[in-house]
Chain A
Amino acid sequence: MKKTHNQKAWFMVLPVLLLVAFSAIIPLMTVVNYSVQDTFGNNEFFWVGLEWFEEILHSERMHDALSRQATFTAIILLIEIPLGIFVALHMPKNKGFWSSLCLVLVALPLLIPWNVVGTIWQVFGRVDIGLLGHSLASLGIDYNYTQNSTAAWFTIIVMDVWHWTSLVVLLCYAGLQSIPDAYYQAAKIDQASRWNVFRHIQLPKIKGVLLIAVLLRFMDSFMIYTEPFVLTGGGPGNATTFLSIDLVKMAIGQFDLGPAAAFSLMYFLGILLVSYVFYTLMVNSEGQSS
């Protein structure tokens, strides 16, 4: 039989190719394009090679933003993950009115748009009319998130914990629900303590979903923009200027498109790298437990 060569099938993938090109590749390449050129307006560009990347890597401003960012992410992970597990452990186990009520209450913060969350806390924390700000001030505590950087950090962290612990709770709760009763019964028979039940049954069984929770919370908190932008606008001074806030300042505020492009590429690759490490960890741990 004669083999016919027909390459027309390639046209079948054309729509997808176009879609991906317009949605991802072309915008990304524009950024790459900016990151290696300089412009003085009038659509005139000069090739500068990797200069912007070097500048960003050595810029003090970037280092400060990165360390603020890392501190913020570390703090909220350290609070949200244990707190999420703790809340999930204490939610009603059996399906019924109370567990449904808990789920709805817990899920509520997740349904609020991010800029609304920022606005809520901005009002909530105000010293003149906000419930939180006014109460703290009347207790004699020097709290003013627009002037005091500790107060600003405190407010942003409490806001993020309020907004996102629910996600950890829901994931852990789902993980806990999937543990068969026999494990708890066997633990009772073996006279295991509450701590041992957690350490040797619950924690290993929710390890998979917990890693997903850590991954999601890491990515989201590392890219946080809207809430602190609405709440503090990065202030007071630069106290709460996290990476993405700084990036926007640089790109739109100062119109430094070159450095901003180089910056966003490194930002993107950094998150990708850490997420990949998490993913590998996750896949490995799943392989172990089955």
Chain B
Amino acid sequence: MAKITLSNLAHSYSKTPASPSDFALKTIDHVWEDGSAYALLGPSGCGKSTLLNIISGLLAPSQGQVLFDDNDVTHASTSERNIAQVFQFPVVYDTMTVRQNLAFPLKNRKLGADYIDARVTAVANMIGMQDFLNDKASGLTADAKQKISLGRGIVREDVNAILFDEPLTVIDPQMKWELRTQLKALHQQLGHTMIYVTHDQTEALTFADKVVVMSEGEVVQVGTPTELFERPAHTFVGFFIGSPGMNVLPATVVGNKAMIGNHQIQLNLSYDQLPGTIEMGIRPEYIKLSNEPSGLAITIHRIEDVGHHKIVRASHSFDDQSIEINVIVKEGVEISDDMKYLVFEREKINIYADKWLQNGEEPR
């Protein structure tokens, strides 16, 4: 087990990168603490898999260093790094039985037969394949195959880190929960550093101690699930996490007052003169519908009942503009016809300048 440090790391698939857009991975400095469970979250094509392949050594970065503890492993091979990785699509060795598949990584490292037997049995129990150990791997279903891939990832005890590249994509939803819970339990039991790549926020938030959010080849925020939800460092994080994502409304801010169109909102914190485009972020969970005309006037377009809550799609019009706002109304709360105003929870409002979160001060 080891602490993994990425220092000034960047990668481009082009040999002669000219502009920043040629980089699949823009400069990253990041430390993966030993023994933590991380989720690497971001939309498809944001560089998650590239980053993962650089850590595991399947890809050499065009710039920067990868350190395991204090050893520079930037150009070390995958086997020297002693890392396990599970891929998006199941990889099984068709010619082998389930048992041989699970034993394969151990056998290649020339470990004792008794130890291999014990490990394979233990891992088979963890992934629920103990009854199929002697079956040919080629005849199994996609999710059984993926369980074997997972099994091969966790069968070695001494790995420096286990990397998961969207491993549950092909698994059906019921099984997803089960396997994710097992992975989490496994992490607590073994204490390996785990990095779990996904574009599914639920998966990221339930699996990880810390979530690393990426967008367009950059790390935009590292934080606990709560931090990401309450204080998104970038409007992208606000959009991407939450369903629906955070409302980002164009605003002007002076001191501790924000203006949305012609409507004034009192803020808890006070902001200095802010540069660039100013936006106000507020999660739909922290907005209430009200019939008090002191709130922000809106028109409701659609109400979606998703079971445990309702999503209200509304818009606020001023001058010639119209901005969309989503509101989440808890189950059991009636929405009456005269509720045409919105009230924001003051302490949940975040202010962004050029898409990055701004820190306010307590007003004097």
Chain A positions near chain B (C-beta within 8 angstroms): 180, 182-183, 185-186, 188-193, 196, 199-201, 203-205, 288-289
With contacts A204-B94, A288-B139 known, is A188 near B87, CB below 8 A? no
Out of B58, B84, B108, B139, which one reaches A192, CB within 8 Å?
Answer: B108
Contact of B95 with A by CB under 8 A: yes
Out of B58, B77, B93, which one reaches A185, CB within 8 Å?
Answer: B58
Q: Is the CB of A188 within 8 A of B58?
A: yes
Q: Is the CB of B105 within 8 A of A190?
A: yes
Contact of B89 with A by CB under 8 A: yes
**B60-102: contact bitstring with A at CB < 8 Å (1 yes, 0 no)?**
0000000000000000011100011101110101111000000
Contact of B302 with A by CB under 8 A: no
**A189 contacts which chain B residues (CB < 8 A)?**
56, 78, 83-85, 105, 153
Closest residue on chain B to residue A189 by CB atoms: B85
Q: List 10 A-B pairs, minimum CB-CB distance, nearest first.
A: A186-B91, A190-B105, A200-B93, A182-B87, A191-B108, A191-B79, A188-B78, A204-B94, A189-B85, A200-B95
List 28 interface pairs A-B (beta carbons < 8 Å), by A numbering: A180-B89, A182-B87, A182-B88, A185-B85, A186-B87, A186-B91, A186-B149, A186-B152, A188-B58, A188-B77, A188-B78, A188-B79, A189-B56, A189-B78, A189-B83, A189-B85, A189-B105, A191-B79, A191-B109, A192-B108, A200-B93, A200-B96, A203-B95, A204-B93, A204-B95, A288-B138, A288-B139, A289-B138
**B88 contacts which chain A residues (CB < 8 A)?**
182
**B96 contacts which chain A residues (CB < 8 A)?**
200
Contact of B104 with A by CB under 8 A: yes
**Least Cβ distance of B320 to chain A in Å?**
52
Give complex CA distance A188, B85 in Å. 10
Q: Is the CB of B105 within 8 A of A289?
A: no
**A193 contacts which chain B residues (CB < 8 A)?**
108
Give complex CA distance A268, B108 in Å. 50
- The winner among A191, A193, A289 for most chain B CB atoms within 10 A is A191
Out of B53, B77, B104, which one reaches A190, CB within 8 Å?
Answer: B104
**Least Cβ distance of B138 to chain A in Å?**
6
Give complex CA distance A188, B129 in Å. 24
**B139 contacts which chain A residues (CB < 8 A)?**
288
**Least Cβ distance of A203 to chain B in Å?**
8
Give complex CA distance A201, B83 in Å. 21
Q: Is the CB of A201 within 8 A of B108?
A: no
**A200 contacts which chain B residues (CB < 8 A)?**
93-96
Residues B47-63 near A (CB distance < 8 A): 53, 56, 58
- The winner among B88, B95, B96, B152 for most chain A CB atoms within 10 A is B95
Closest residue on chain B to residue A197 by CB atoms: B93
Chain B positions near chain A (C-beta within 8 angstroms): 53, 56, 58, 77-79, 83-85, 87-89, 91, 93-96, 104-105, 108-109, 138-139, 149, 152-153
**A190 contacts which chain B residues (CB < 8 A)?**
104-105, 108, 152
Give complex CA distance A204, B138 in Å. 10
Closest residue on chain B to residue A205 by CB atoms: B94
Q: Is the CB of A289 within 8 A of B94?
A: yes
**Least Cβ distance of A255 to chain B in Å?**
55
Q: Is the CB of B93 within 8 A of A201?
A: yes
Closest residue on chain B to residue A183 by CB atoms: B91
Q: Is the CB of A191 within 8 A of B105?
A: yes
**Least Cβ distance of B229 to chain A in Å?**
33
Give complex CA distance A145, B152 in Å. 58
Q: Is the CB of A185 within 8 A of B87?
A: yes
**Least Cβ distance of B3 to chain A in Å?**
20
**A205 contacts which chain B residues (CB < 8 A)?**
94
**B153 contacts which chain A residues (CB < 8 A)?**
189
**Least Cβ distance of B161 to chain A in Å?**
12
Closest residue on chain A to residue B109 by CB atoms: A191
**A192 contacts which chain B residues (CB < 8 A)?**
104, 108
Give complex CA distance A185, B94 in Å. 16
Give complex CA distance A188, B78 in Å. 7
Out of B78, B85, B95, B108, which one reaches A199, CB within 8 Å?
Answer: B95
Give complex CA distance A189, B109 in Å. 11
Closest residue on chain B to residue A203 by CB atoms: B95
Give complex CA distance A256, B96 in Å. 56
With contacts A189-B56, A189-B78, A189-B83 known, is A196 near B89, CB below 8 A? no
Q: Is the CB of B105 within 8 A of A182?
A: no
**B53 contacts which chain A residues (CB < 8 A)?**
185
**Least Cβ distance of B287 to chain A in Å?**
44
**B87 contacts which chain A residues (CB < 8 A)?**
182, 185-186
Q: Is the CB of A186 within 8 A of B108?
A: no
Closest residue on chain B to residue A196 by CB atoms: B108
Closest residue on chain B to residue A185 by CB atoms: B58
**A288 contacts which chain B residues (CB < 8 A)?**
138-139
**B109 contacts which chain A residues (CB < 8 A)?**
191
Give complex CA distance A153, B96 in Å. 41
**Least Cβ distance of A209 to chain B in Å?**
15
**A201 contacts which chain B residues (CB < 8 A)?**
93
Question: A186-B152, A199-B95, A203-B95 provided; 14 other pairs, C-beta below 8 A?
Answer: A183-B91, A185-B85, A188-B78, A189-B84, A189-B105, A190-B105, A191-B79, A191-B105, A192-B104, A193-B108, A200-B96, A204-B94, A204-B95, A204-B138
Give complex CA distance A215, B172 in Å. 40
Closest residue on chain A to residue B136 by CB atoms: A288
Closest residue on chain B to residue A193 by CB atoms: B108
Q: Is the CB of A182 within 8 A of B89?
A: yes
**B85 contacts which chain A residues (CB < 8 A)?**
185-186, 189
**A185 contacts which chain B residues (CB < 8 A)?**
53, 58, 85, 87
**Least Cβ distance of B260 to chain A in Å?**
48
Give complex CA distance A188, B149 in Å. 14
